[in-house]
A and B are shown apart, each in its own frame.
Chain A
């Protein structure tokens, strides 16, 4: 059996008297995509903030590579190998791709005061890394601001992979994108998984989650509502679960009643 690379057991997170997460347990395996689904306010953001070190859990245990850990900052989590790609991406639009890619971890050559950027290496590395993701960079000097949303996501993802991430947390990477652009990002999620990373993909769109996910965790009101392997669930079931099953049936009935009333108003 494969060992989980990341596991949380019975995590509870309180903000004052508000219970944001209650007894949440889940496992993330290397080379698999774990989709974290849930409506707004379900606790997705709180859970990823616990995973990436922004918040510390009130109760519960956090294991990474089989060892119990407690991250006090995103930096600590990153050093351990948990990289988070936020929606705002941490890319600088006016800067060239290669400068963005290596920002904060610049490759250098030369000695002492003459230490300078290894620009040739940086450009070559960006081109190679992006090629692995299936993107052909013609000009690494191109400012990131001129690239499409999907391409920017892919830069952020390949940057995390390049700098040795073992677990990749993607916070709603497809939320602001059109269908085609979202498709590109889903592509890279699969590529990252193929490279053996444990991917945590946060979304509220089951249509994006189902094709790439191996494993689905549905959160609702701070609790785990369901935890399925792909074989155990269909896309339609996933959609129903997301919307809260019974609620959706109730909503459909109410809407149907509303529609029936309409002719009376018109008449």
Chain B
């Protein structure tokens, strides 16, 4: 190496130009994926896809998935998994539904109690992970099965069926629906207000992650919890807070579902927990924690909503959706691994050049 140490460095900064910086961002894969998939369906089924109606059809599932993917991404960056997120969207809806229809509580009170319940479960998830030192995969898998059983069991005990109907007849339903999930007609088609929630929450979460000290703490906790503790980061509190965040997001989505459908179903959300994890991975979150992007996860949700909507639009069997999920997960993990390695190696070479004569 003929590189001298200090003075020549500025020209190397110039080399790290706009595109290189862009390609080092974790969400770039999801952005490219979203564009490619949109163009793909635009070519396959242009008459349905390239329209305002097509867009609103995509944004509808993208919004609730996106809210979950954003919270799950924060947790994954913090180094943990939560397998109880999907079933929790059902549990929170059932809690609010049963309290309002069977106990006769005003819907708003039932919804707030359901939030408290979700936060307690999230806290317990985090507490058990920290106390036992077991992988969060195992702890939250247990939570998943407990809730899955309780969802159906409690509902059947109370109502003799696995379904709670008549939520629209409770006190405060209209205002709750307006607040959480209302149809809005714009450009001649119907949009859900959950889309606004999704966009706003993604922006707030991204701001917290990138611009506040809590964001630094999340990255640090997921990157190396011990090292983080050594410099005074409250890593345990961060983890518990993140588990409570995913539970709260599940409450929000669960509430959106019941005010939209006017009922709650015992089987709601089962299996969706893996969607959220895949969306976050597609968005650039490493499975091992410490790295990722909230905006990427929101884009990951958009990609899956496109596949979910586009496959029936194209007239294909919807079974293929799951195959698509699997392929996307594999591609995402490989791409994440590759880009991270590549960025690291390029920079290591530069560091060596600096310290060798």
Give the interface of A toward B (CB within 8 A). Answer: 75, 86, 88-95, 99, 102-106, 108, 115-117, 119, 134, 136, 138-139, 142-143, 145-148, 150-151, 180-181, 184
Instruction: Give the one of B13, B16, B348, B355 with max A CB within 10 A.
Output: B355
Q: A99-B216, A104-B233 are in contact. Are A136 and B347 (CB under 8 A)?
A: no
Cβ of B6 and Cβ of A95 under 8 Å apart?
Answer: no
- Pick from A90, A142, A143, A184: contact of B230, CB below 8 A: A90
Q: A119-B211, A146-B344, A180-B355 are in contact. Are A94 and B291 (CB under 8 A)?
A: yes
Give the interface of B toward A (CB within 8 A). Answer: 5-6, 9-10, 12-13, 16, 207, 211-213, 215-217, 219-220, 223-224, 226-228, 230-233, 286, 290-291, 343-344, 347-348, 350-352, 354-356
In the complex, A117 Cα to B214 Cα: how many Å? 9
Closest to A137 in B: B9
Enumerate the 9 nearest inter-chain pairs by beta-carbon distance, A residue then B residue, closest first: A146-B347, A104-B232, A104-B231, A92-B223, A106-B213, A90-B230, A90-B227, A116-B211, A94-B290
- Pick from B13, B211, B219, B356: contact of A139, CB below 8 A: B13
Chain B min CB distance to A105 (Å): 7
Q: Could you say which residues of chain B place their CB within 8 Å of the CB of A106?
A: 213, 216
- Pick from A115, A117, A138, A146: contact of B216, CB below 8 A: A117
Q: A90-B230, A95-B223, A103-B228 are in contact. Are A150 and B290 (CB under 8 A)?
A: no
- Pick from B10, B220, B228: contact of A138, CB below 8 A: B10
Cβ of A93 and Cβ of B230 under 8 Å apart?
Answer: no
* 7 more A-B residue pairs beyond the given contacts A92-B220, A104-B228, with a C-beta to C-beta distance below 8 A: A93-B223, A95-B223, A99-B220, A104-B231, A148-B352, A151-B351, A184-B355
Closest to B221 in A: A92
Chain B min CB distance to A91 (Å): 6
Cβ of B219 and Cβ of A95 under 8 Å apart?
Answer: yes
Q: Could you say which residues of chain B place their CB within 8 Å of the CB of A147?
A: 351
